[in-house]
Amino acid sequence: MKVCIAEKPSVAKDIAEVLGAKKRNDGYYEGNGYQVTWTFGHLCTLKEPRDYVERWRWWNIMDLPMVPSRFGIKVMEDSGVKKQFSIISRLVQNCDEVINCGDAGQEGEVIQRWVLHLAKCKVPVKRLWISSLTEEAIKEGFEKLKDANDYNNLYAAGSSRAIGDWLLGINSTRLFTLKYGQQKQVLSIGRVQTPTLAMIVDRTVEIQNFKPQDYWELRTVYRDTEFNSVLGKIQKVEKANYALEKIKEAEFTITTFEQKEGKESPPKLFDLTALQVEANKKYGYSADLTLKYIQGLYEKKYVTYPRVDTTYLSEDIHPKVPGILQKMQYYSRLTAPLLEKPIPKSKNVFNDKKVTDHHAIIPTGVVPSGVSPEEGKIYDLVAKRFISVFYPDCIVSNTTVLGEVLKLEFKATGKQVLSPGWREVYAGDKAKKKDEENLMPVFEEGESGPHEPRVDQKQTTAPKYYTEATLLRSMETAGRNVDDEEARELMKDNGIGRPSTRANIIETLFRRRYIARQRKNIVATQTGIDLINTIHNETLKSPELTGDWEKKLRLIEKGEYSAEDFKKELIEMVVGITNEVMFRKVEQGITILTDEELAAQKKAPKKKAAPKKKVSIDELKCPKCKQGSILTGKKAYGCSEFKAGCKFVLPFQFLNKKLTSKQVVDLIQKGKTTKIKGLEKPGSEEKVDGKLAFTPDFNIEIID
C-alpha cells in the first residue's frame, strides 16, 4: 500500500480521483493500492519554551536568552489536528511507501517532514513535485516521482527559517517586553516583521517632520509646446524674476530637434509579489487578499502554483504554450494572432537558469467557471500578462527638442506610439495609462519666434506614504528604491521575507496595531513608532541585514551554505542583542539613555536623592523559601524554586478582586496590603473592606 499525504483535503481529493482511490474513509481516500490523506496545513509546530524547561513557562528576563540544546517539534494542541495526525500516523506505520504530495515549496516541505518525523516513518518516501493541479499535471507528476532526499536542502532551509524565527522572535519579544513594556503591553519583535515596521516608521516620521520649501521654475511656451528651463528648481524668486525679465523680449530659437525610434518590451510574467503589486495598484486589493484569490484559482486548477519568486518559464513549457493559448477561449481575439505562427522562444520568457522550484504564474488552459468577481479580476491580470509576453515590442518615437533664449537653454520631450505591439492586449482597459502620449509638432533647427515665458512658484513635497504595492516592492529589494525589472530580479535573494510570507507579515503589523490604513496609504501608529524607537540594535530593524539572512537561507536551499552555521550565527546574534539590551540604562519606560546622555549626566551637578524607585514584582524574593524569585504565570505568581519543593502561589485575583502590582509587592515584602475595598466574602455576595495578609503557611486571609 502506498500512502499519499497532501496539504489540504481538496488537493487530496483531486489526487485520489486521478489515482483511482474512490473509497472515502474517515480522514483519507482509499483504492487501487493507494491511501490518500491530508494534513490541514500545519499539524506540527516547534516546541514552546515551557516544553524545554518548565521555568521558561514564565517570562523572566534572567532566563534570557532561551536557547534549547536541540530543537524539537510537537503536534499542535487541537483535537481535530490530533485526530488527523493519529490517522496519518496509523497509515504511515502500515504502508510500504509514502508519497509526499505537499505543496511544492519550502513551507510545504517542512509541514510534511515534521509530520513524517513524529509519525516515525520508516518506509521509503517519494516526492510529488508539480506546478498545477490539473489532471494532466498530476498524472505527469506521478510518472516522474522524485526521491525525497533530493529535497533535503529545501527542508534544511525551511527548518532553519523556523528555528531562526523562534530564536529571534521569542527571545526578543520577551526581552523588550520585560525591559520596556508598560502595563503588561507585549512588544512583538520579529526577524522580518521588525525591519518592515522600521521602514514604515521611518517613512511616516520623515513625512511628519517634513517642512515644505518654496522654489520657482522658469518655463516658456513656443508653438503650443511647453519647454522647461534647464535651470531646474530656482531657490530664490529674485533670480527667477531676473531671468524672466531678461528673456521676455528676446526670441526663442530651436537648436536641436531629434526623433529616435525606441522599443518597449512586454512586462515580465507575474511572480507572486508582482501580482500583489499590480492588484493593489489596479483594484486596491491587499497583499493578503490577492494571495487568497490566486490560491483559490490554483486549487480550482485555473492557474499554476502561485507562491513563486521568478518571472520566467522553464524551457520545457515552450511546446505547451500553443495548447494553453488555444484553450483560453475568452481571450480568442488576443490569442488568435499568436497562433498563426510559431511562438518565439525568447530568453526574456524561457530561461532555465532563472527557474528553481517553480516557474512564473500562468494560466493552465482550464476555462474558469464558478469563480468570484475578485478571482475573475486576478485571473484576468494573469491571463493578459501571459498573452502579452508573446506579442511583439511596442515601437515608439521619442522626441527631444532643445531651444534657447539669450543662451539660456530650454528642453521639451514627447513620445508617440508608432506600433502598439503588446500594448494591444491592454487597449480596452479603462485603467489610466502610465505614460500619456505627448504629441509634438515638427520643429526645424534654427527656426525662431516669439514665446510666452513665465515663472511658476512651487513647493517641495514630502515623500509618499507606503501603499501595499510600494511596501511589497521595498520588502522585495530590502528597502532599496529600484524601478528596473532586471535589477529587481537580481536583488530577490536579498529581500525581506519570501513572497509567500510577506502578506502575512503586513497583516500581522495591522493586527497588532503597529500600522494603520489611511485610504490606500500605510502609516505607522504611535505604538509602532514607540516600538521602533525602543530598539537601538540596528540588526533587528535593518532591511539590508535581514536581507542578508534571507540570502543565506536561499543558499542553504541550494546546498551552498550550512544550516548549522546559520543556527550558530543566529544564536550569537540573539546573545549579543540580549546582552546589549539588558545592560542598557532605561528611564521612564521606553526612553533609553544614549552613551552621550549618560556621560552628560555624570558631569552634571549632583541633585537631591530621587524618590525611592518602585520595586517590580520580578525583583522580589519568595517570602516562603527566601531563595527563589517571583515568576509570573498565566493565572498566578509562583516561586522559581518550585522544582526544589517550594509550593508558594499567589493568585492574580482574590475574593473576586484583581490585585494591583503595589498590593502584590506590599503583600510579599510586608506580609500585608493596605485596605482594599469591595472584597467578596466566600460563599456570599456580601462585600467587605479589609487588608489581605499571609497566614503562617502562606495562604491569604482578610484582616481588619
Domains of the chain, each with CATH number or no CATH: 2-154 (3.40.50.140), 214-266+394-459 (2.70.20.10), 272-388 (1.10.290.10), 617-703 (no CATH)
CA–CA distance, 487 with 675 (Å, rounded to integer): 69
- Reported as a single tens digit per residue, the pLDDT across 43-53 is 999 999 999 99
pLDDT at 586 over 60: no
Say if residue 604's pLDDT is above 60: no
**Among residues 376, 373, 391, which one has the least CA distance to residue 302?**
376
Q: Strand runs (DSSP E) across 123-189, as ranges?
A: 125-127, 146-147
Cα separation, 436 vs 242, in Å, equals: 34
Q: How far apart are CA 234 and CA 214, in angstroms?
A: 9
> In whole numbers, what is the pLDDT of the chain averaged over residues?
87
Give 494 or 207, the one with higher predicted confidence. Answer: 207
Residue 435 has pLDDT above 70, yes or no: no
Instruction: Looking at 218-353, list the stretches that DSSP marks H as alpha helix, in order from N- to C-terminal side.
Output: 237-247, 272-283, 287-299, 321-327, 332-339
Q: Which one of 34, 298, 305, 312 is the catalytic residue?
A: 305
DSSP result, 642-700: GGGT---EEESEETTEEPPHHHHHHHHHHSB-S-EEEEEPTTS--EEEEEEEE-TTS-E
With a cut of 60, say whether residue 482 has pLDDT above it: no
End-to-end CA distance of the chain: 75
pLDDT in tens, 264-315: 999 999 999 999 999 999 999 999 999 999 999 999 999 999 989 899 999 9
DSSP letter for 17, please: H
Mean pLDDT of 369-391: 96
Tell me the percentage of the chain whose pLDDT exceeds 70: 90
Query: Residues 417, 395: contact at Cβ < 8 Å?
Result: yes
What pLDDT does residue 105 have? 83
Write the secondary structure of 90-129 as one string of H (helix), E (strand) and C (coil).
HHHHCCCEEEEECCCCHHHHHHHHHHHHHCCCCCCEEECC
Please say if the pLDDT value at position 221 is more than 60. yes
The residue whose grid cell reads 517539534 is 73
β-pair type (214-222, 225-229): antiparallel
Res. 589: pLDDT tops 60: no
pLDDT at residue 608 above 60?
no
Higher confidence at residue 58 or residue 586?
58
User: DSSP per residue over 341-407, as a string?
Assistant: SPPP--TTTB-GGG-SS---B-B-SPPP-S--HHHHHHHHHHHHHHHHTTSPPEEEEEEEEEEEETT
Burial of 413 (0-12, 13-18, 19+ CB in 10 A): middle
Residue 49 identity (one-letter amino acid): P
CA distance 34 to 21: 6
Using CA of residue 669, residue 670, residue 675, residue 681, what is the dihedral sign?
positive
| pLDDT of the residue at 434 | 46
Share of residues in the chain with pLDDT > 90 (%): 63
Distance between CA atoms of 138 and 121, rounded to whole angstroms?
Answer: 24
- What pLDDT is recorded for position 691? 86
Render pLDDT for 323-346 as a digit per residue (tens, 0 to 9). Answer: 999 999 999 999 999 999 999 999
Digit-coded pLDDT (tens) for 63-80? 999 999 999 999 999 999
pLDDT digits (tens, 9 = 90+) for 609-645: 444 456 677 778 888 878 788 888 777 888 887 777 7
* pLDDT score, position 423: 94
The pTM of the full predicted model, rounded to 2 decimals, is 0.74
| pLDDT over 70 (residue 602) | no
Residue 432 pLDDT: 42
Distance CA 486, CA 423 (A): 20
**Residue 300: per-residue pLDDT:** 93
Per the annotation, the verdict on 151 as an active-site residue is: no
The gap from C-alpha 31 to its chain's centroid, in whole angstroms, comes to: 41
